[in-house]
Amino acid sequence: NDTVRIRILSGEVRQGMLDTISPNSAAPIGLSKNLILHVHGGGFIAHSSKSHEIYLKPWCKELKVPIVSIDYSLAPEHVFPRASEECFYVYAWCLLNKNLLGWSGENIICVGDSAGGVLATNIVQRAIVNQIRIPDALVPIYSPFLLTYSLSPSRLLSVMDPLLNLGILWRCLAAYSGIDFKAETERYKIMLNLGEIKKIDEKNSNVRFSKSESIDLPDEVKIGSQEKVKISLENLDNRIDLADVQPEFQSDKLLTNEELLSYYELMGDAIFLIDKLRSNRVPYDHYMSPILSTDDMLSKFPKTFLISACLDPLHDDSIEFKRRLNRLHVPNGLEVIEGVHHGFLNFVQISKECRKASKLVTSRIKSYLI
């Protein structure tokens, strides 16, 4: 199916919208000078324009401009660069069909959250390459500008982030880039001799490991001064008050088959996937990773305002992208919102902090309206 669906949201019925709304609607008002082209997030694999109405509808009410939100094709069924091309197609369609959108054609702002921010940035890049009108402003919100295996300081947060953990982060990247790791993960389990663990009878099994048996302490350690420091369980007990050690670390409890399998299911796939990503099979492409764009391309960017969350594993991407724009003297700004995490726009109805952050995003977009 070559059709790309869009959702048009507007707080007012405007001229030109009569073909897309109920004939019983109120009399239309004049054309809007502004149009927001929105690209939803979801790691390239999930969500839709409908699921993001939770903050798009308040934007319509506050900004009083029509919003076009794109329902692009999702991975892994449609891998890179399908979604990027579809978003650019919709942008070009909007320019040619402004009369259907209640828009005068004067000012268009591309906005995207998370993965949608990358796709919104792609619209600007493709407009530059194809030498058509460039959007008047770009607002990427907590977006990843480097889609490759990279562990920046903020990305280390993904080790413990409840929303954007390591496994989710790399699975989204693998799906979007077309890496099929499922079959090889099964072979990896067999290689680790864990593939048949569920079939082992726990009562009769000899596959049991002691936590204490896995600790191999040397009798002595040789240091730079050539002195030998005796290390034994006896003098170790004199140095550490075992009463202060948590009970689970004192226990000589054996690790069962289920516990070993549980650990593998928690970490094994993620570890294997990271190893796959490190093999550099992810496309090294400026549409996949906008930060790889040439200086010539970035120098033609419109006014850009980056929004990030201080608790976001992708926070460093926004900082580095801003640095590139700064060096090229492209008008830009960066707002780092305290106390919120990745995806805060989707939590506006359950979190006071997220509602406050969403209002800040609205005010930043409003500053680009004419």
What tens digit of pLDDT does each residue of 88-108 get?
999 999 999 998 999 999 999
Q: C-alpha distances in angstroms, 317 versus 72, 139, 288, 338?
A: 23, 14, 13, 17
**pLDDT tens figures, 136-189:** 999 999 999 998 767 788 887 777 777 787 778 888 988 999 887 665 555 545
pLDDT at 153: 82
217 domain-assigned? no
pLDDT at 75 over 50: yes
280 domain-assigned? no
pLDDT at 90: 98
pTM beyond 0.85, yes or no: no
221 domain-assigned? no
245 domain-assigned? no
CA distance 49 to 56: 9
138 domain-assigned? yes
Other Cβ atoms less than 10 A from the Cβ of 11: the count is 16
168 domain-assigned? no
Stretch 50-65: mean pLDDT, rounded?
Answer: 96
**pLDDT tens figures, 180-237:** 766 555 554 544 444 443 443 444 444 444 444 444 445 554 544 444 444 444 444 4
> Whole domain around residue 341: which residue ranges?
5-146+286-366
203 domain-assigned? no
At a CB cut-off of 8 Å and minimum separation 6, what does 299 contact? 328, 329, 330
Q: What is the CATH number of the domain that holds 359?
A: 3.40.50.1820
DSSP letters for 92-104: HHHHH-GGGTTEE
**Domain tally, the chain:** 1
37 domain-assigned? yes
Enumerate long-range contacts of 153-156, CB under 8 Å, 24 or more apart: 153/316, 154/312, 154/313, 154/314, 154/315, 154/316, 154/317, 155/313, 155/314, 155/316, 156/313
Q: How far apart are the first and last CA of the chain?
A: 37
**pLDDT tens figures, 316-367:** 999 999 999 999 999 999 999 999 999 999 999 999 999 999 999 999 999 9
